[in-house]
Amino acid sequence: MKTAIFFMVVLFTNPSIEDEKEAISTTLSYYMDGGTNRSFETLQKAFHPDAIMTINNEEGLKQVNAREFFSKMKPGDPLKRTCKIVSIDIEGTTAVARLHLEDDRKIFHDFMTLLKVDGTWVIVNKSFYTEYKN
């Protein structure tokens, strides 16, 4: 009897992987929708205040605060691009997501590290590669 009660408590207190993936997808949607619609208000919901963006380009390795970087976003018409979550991997309160954002000139390959902080999934690191189309 004690085993059955324990199992029921664990079953009803631990969110399922599918629930966690849905919550992570919501966070990633804030990022994708906010960027596409040039809405810093929406985009910042995805990032922890101390989140870092890391890029390695012709200037070398560079890290910046993500919210600070995106706060410079200029309002305007929505971008014409497609956004897709390629994968989400979860272990406990840590997750890694891979995104594919594409417009007519380039493809962004985004790799997000997320943590579950105070019950909410937030992006803590964004590393990315930009592929330019010919």
Answer whether residue 7 is part of any domain: no
**Residues of the domain holding 47:** 14-132
The CATH number assigned to the domain holding 63 equals 3.10.450.50
State yes or no: pLDDT of 3 exceeds 60: no
pLDDT band, very low/low/confident/very high, at 57 (cuts 50, 70, 90): confident
Answer whether residue 100 is part of any domain: yes
pLDDT band, very low/low/confident/very high, at 39 (cuts 50, 70, 90): very high
Q: What is the pLDDT of residue 58?
A: 83
Residue-wise pLDDT for 7-35, tens only, equals 444 444 556 889 999 999 999 999 999 99
Mean pLDDT of the chain: 89
SS3 annotation, the chain: CHHHHHHHHHHHHCCCHHHHHHHHHHHHHHHHHHHHCCCHHHHHHHEEEEEEEEEEECCEEEEEEHHHHHCCCCCCCCCCCEEEEEEEEEECCEEEEEEEEECCCEEEEEEEEEEEECCEEEEEEEEEEEEECC
> What is the Cβ-side half-sphere exposure of residue 108, based on CA atoms within 13 angstroms?
18
Answer whether residue 19 is part of any domain: yes
Residue-wise pLDDT for 65-117, tens only, equals 998 988 888 889 999 999 999 999 999 999 999 999 999 999 999 999 999 99
Answer whether residue 24 is part of any domain: yes
Q: What is the pLDDT of residue 43?
A: 94
Instruction: Please name the amino acid found at residue 6.
Output: F
How many independent structural domains does the chain possess?
1
Handedness of CA 36, 42, 48, 52 (dihedral sign): positive
Answer whether residue 83 is part of any domain: yes
Answer whether residue 1 is part of any domain: no
Answer whether residue 9 is part of any domain: no
- Residue 97 · residue 28 · CB < 8 Å: yes
Answer whether residue 3 is part of any domain: no
